[in-house]
A and B are shown apart, each in its own frame.
Chain A
């Protein structure tokens, strides 16, 4: 089957937009060390992708405002799915509760419980865990500390338990900072913050008097990592290159095969 026929609108309507599929891919692949192009992203150009989406319900996969993203699926929705499968919302759509949430417009409407000063401490700690470097920004720059607030404020026993752990931890951290250096954690130098973090960065190795702080640090590290690595900056940092619509699936590149001893 020709590449082109894959991208026809159901029903055979001729597309009005030029299809990118019969041209060489114009994507900027992620260049790797030896100069080969890895995982050619054939369809990254937004206009080209939009053309495809219009033609073949191929959607743009990320980085779109919601309204735009919905426009991508609209043609498919109109493409003749029988009316009985598309009842009015009252009859069949999401109820918007936890068991049947609106997956396209999720509500995150629980009130946030942490105070501004607690958030300031967490932002400072988050940036000790994930500081800015030449590859990506710091955790607080992409709002990872807000994810901590979202999590500890959420309904459910686990979040309620961890709210105590985070709250208590923030207080403990500031008390420890006062005792050691006479200032709150946010006012410490990097060296001073490091001195405390070194004592609490790993539960099995922490002294008894630091165990509570270490358990807090452990939780915050995981929450910060989730908050950070699920953003575009975080995904780019570790080199996640998926979530791209491809016209076909290729075997691994020679560079990857070589690295794995699979040539």
Chain B
């Protein structure tokens, strides 16, 4: 996003990418079937989300690029070493943070407030949604903001299972509303939107119009997570990089493993040093402004590794807070078998790949009224029904039928196929002192760069939240006349996903009002190094139950506006 915005403004941009080049249009396996893949597309150590997942050269492990965990910590760090990073495979869920989410400490005394409010970011949410293409509804629920009129694309009609959940969740007081996903249900208005988003900027309008004309609407088949060659959903490689490159102002150097930000005697950033992975040579590039968007933990690693006599604690770390207040999303799930869903007439369940509806957090009043034993909320993603059969899709039959085989087995497969639902809670984690990353003084990766060591601890708020998730899902499944699979945990540590597993890690360079208690100012500018900016998840002060990508994009746009303003005023660059 930052590269795009700076390039259309006429600046020369060099993008250093630690992974390889990647072009979804050429490389996506979206039209393949599981049977064409090794082991029917099963997930593996190397491809945790299945063989066809768009992430290449990445995962919780990257060969030659280890990280370590402090004793007692089990944190998983996802890296996507490829152009476009995790935007190639992400879930496309695009939820805005709400008013409470920017001022959580003011509301309940925990964590910290952002140095900006929802009103500050709302215009950028609108613009970002129009730029990337997001479908969603017009509901106006507490702390679940709606977009300005005309911004969102129409949401797709709910699937049968989604309608059934809505019917049975509503009497429990649980709302089910259209989800917001970065998937286009119609083509963008390529004549109107570029003028609206980039008034008075002919270059920006031209490249964005070209880019929008190349994007098709969703055709309701193939999984988003495998990438999208028709450019119907958002990934950097199909939506932001092509128009950025079309300006002629952007160069991308892949396989460039940035290891440190270099700083001159005046304390300003002079550029970065990186290892060229092809030649293993150390290279230096000079820049007037440095923007880090390496992902929250990698950005912290680069800053902490930028050590010198001038900056013994690393660059931009006078507060000592780089790497601190690392957060992920709380995750817990539960599934169930629903007799009502058995033996249905065939129906197409593919839809937009991701969810058409979801459950936003609904117990704000109970929570602030002290009726719950945890402080922050969660949203619920759910689904089920007749998906494409894949590896292991029918393993459930053994227990379901207590050992059927033969014709009875085939009949059971027809009966029970598509009769399952699953619910996944995605909740807010409150930043804590015990969750952070630092440089491991004893380990380097294959490029010779010191690696990160993680420290991780859930607080009772997260553990109890995970228990509440499972209890709620069991209630909905039961209300649907279904039977819960597995155990409903009463011990949060057994219900909760591990740190890093939800892949929403944010918060290692928090922004704030005070240079002593934050790393960045409200414009994601380093307090210590004024020509250094951060536009990934690192600036996050809290990690609301809203998937971070949309907010990262909106903040990045706001940051580039500020960079351009400061450069014009000769304050920066």
Do A and B belong to a common assembly?
A: yes
Interface, chain A (partner B; CB < 8 A): 1, 5-6, 10-12, 30, 32-33, 36, 38-39, 56-62, 64, 69, 72-73, 76-77, 79-82, 84-87, 91-95, 98-101, 103-104, 106-108, 128-131, 133, 135-136, 147, 150-151, 154, 156, 194, 197, 201-205, 217-218, 221-222, 225-227, 229-231, 234-235, 237-253, 255-257, 259-262
Considering the chains assembled together, what is the distance between the CA atoms of A256 and B418 in angstroms? 13
Q: A150-B39, A242-B349, A246-B220 are in contact. Are A57 and B229 (CB under 8 A)?
A: yes
Asked whether any CB of chain A lies closer than 8 Å to the CB of B131, the reply is no
With CB as the reference atom, state the residue of chain B lying closest to A218. Answer: B398
Q: Which listed residue, A202, A226, A241, touches B391 by the CB 8 Å rule? A: A226
Report yes or no: A93 in contact with B27, Cβ–Cβ below 8 A.
yes
Q: Which residues of A contact B26 (CB under 8 A)?
A: 73, 77, 81, 86
Q: A260-B164, A260-B340 are in contact. Are A242 and B348 (CB under 8 A)?
A: yes
User: How many pairs of A and B residues are in contact by the CB < 8 Å rule?
Assistant: 291
Q: Which residues of A contact B350 (CB under 8 A)?
A: 242-244
Interface, chain B (partner A; CB < 8 A): 20-23, 25-40, 44-47, 51-52, 56-59, 62-63, 83, 156-160, 163-164, 167, 185-187, 210, 213-214, 216-222, 229-230, 237, 241-242, 245-246, 251-252, 254, 340-341, 343-352, 386-395, 397-398, 402-407, 409-410, 413-414, 417-418
Q: Which residues of B contact A12 (CB under 8 A)?
A: 213
Report yes or no: B164 in contact with A262, Cβ–Cβ below 8 A.
yes
Report yes or no: B413 in contact with A133, Cβ–Cβ below 8 A.
no
Interface centre among B34, B388, B390, B403 (most CB of A within 10 A): B403
Considering the chains assembled together, what is the distance between the CA atoms of A261 and B160 in angstroms? 11
With CB as the reference atom, state the residue of chain B lying closest to A102. Answer: B27
Q: Smallest CB–CB gap between B186 and chain A, Å?
A: 6
Considering the chains assembled together, what is the distance between the CA atoms of A88 and B108 in angstroms? 55
Report yes or no: A38 in contact with B38, Cβ–Cβ below 8 A.
no
Q: Which residues of A contact B63 (CB under 8 A)?
A: 99
A sample of 7 more A-B contacts (CB under 8 A), given A59-B230, A73-B31, A217-B405, is A58-B216, A59-B31, A226-B390, A245-B220, A252-B347, A259-B345, A262-B164
Q: A98-B46, A230-B391 are in contact. Are A244 and B348 (CB under 8 A)?
A: yes
Report yes or no: A82 in contact with B417, Cβ–Cβ below 8 A.
no
Q: Which listed residue, B46, B254, B398, B405, touches A92 by the CB 8 Å rule? A: B254
Considering the chains assembled together, what is the distance between the CA atoms of A132 and B83 in angstroms? 48
Report yes or no: B405 in contact with A197, Cβ–Cβ below 8 A.
yes
Considering the chains assembled together, what is the distance between the CA atoms of A15 and B106 in angstroms? 59
Report yes or no: B394 in contact with A79, Cβ–Cβ below 8 A.
no
Report yes or no: A79 in contact with B214, Cβ–Cβ below 8 A.
yes
Report yes or no: A33 in contact with B219, Cβ–Cβ below 8 A.
no
Interface centre among A11, A32, A235, A242 (most CB of B within 10 A): A242
Q: Which listed residue, A32, A202, A222, A238, touches B389 by the CB 8 Å rule? A: A238
CB-CB nearest 10 A-B residue pairs: A202-B403, A92-B21, A242-B350, A239-B346, A103-B29, A82-B245, A32-B345, A225-B394, A251-B157, A245-B219
